[in-house]
Amino acid sequence: MRIIGGKAKGKLVITLKNNNIRPTGAKVREAIFNIIAPYIEDSVFLDGFAGSGAVGIEAISRGAKKCVFVDNNHASINIIKKNINNTGVEDASIVIKDNFFNFIKQNKYNFDIIFLDPPYAMDGVSDIVVNVQQAGILQEGGLLIIEHESGIIINSSEKMTLTKQKKYSDTTVSIYERIN
């Protein structure tokens, strides 16, 4: 897999050889970044359930000033660190090994864009928008992007509005904006 845009375009990203990890493919990544392009420059980005870190690295490559990568898998954390080094985005990267839900409860950052690609079989995916809203980690006007299994109903929140949803085979990308 390669970074598809920005200053790290074409650089290789290593992925884990594991059936439980589903890296966001180039087609879906490109579609997401085409949608969020106006929001990327100088943003603070969160790549939750980061896996290989490809989405966060893509964000930095395209102009995000900082990306926090969160994953609870030791092997994923090692791969993320290697990919950060291989793509030259160390100065804009923070890697945290933690459970995403623990992280948002103890987090000290505010994000402009949050990308989440939780495991499809994970409990609680349907409540993830509510959890993010309650944690107060997304700036007003910020975007929450969730890559999830098609057919899963994501519960909404009074401060998050669904602005776009696109289906790619068995994957759906839902984009929410935080309103006041």
> What is the domain-level CATH number for residue 135?
3.40.50.150
Tokens of 159: 């401060």
Question: pTM of this prediction?
Answer: 0.93
Given a cut of 70, is residue 138 above it in pLDDT? Answer: yes
The number of folded domains in the chain is 1
Question: Which two tokens mark 98?
Answer: 């933690």
What confidence tens digit (pLDDT) does each residue in 101-117 have? 999 999 888 999 999 99
Count of other CB atoms within 10 angstroms of residue 20: 10
Residue numbers of the domain that contains 49: 26-178
Strand, helix or coil at 35?
helix
- The helix/strand count (H/E) of the chain reads as 5, 7
15 found inside a domain: no
Residue 10 lies in a domain: no
> Strands 138-149 and 66-71: what pairing?
unpaired
Element (H, E) at 44: strand 44-48
What lies within 8 Å, CB to CB, of 146 at 6+ separation is: 116, 117, 118, 128, 129, 154, 173, 174, 175, 176
Q: Please indicate, yes or no, if residue 167 is contained in any of the structural domains.
A: yes
pLDDT tens by residue, 31-52: 899 999 999 999 999 999 999 9
Residue 8, domain member (yes or no):
no
Give the pLDDT of residue 18. Answer: 64
Query: pLDDT averaged over the chain?
Result: 91
Residue 21 pLDDT level (bands cut at 50, 70, 90): low
Cα–Cα distance list, 157 to 17, 51, 127, 130 (Å) = 36, 26, 9, 5
Tens of pLDDT, residue by residue over 143-159, are: 999 999 888 888 888 89
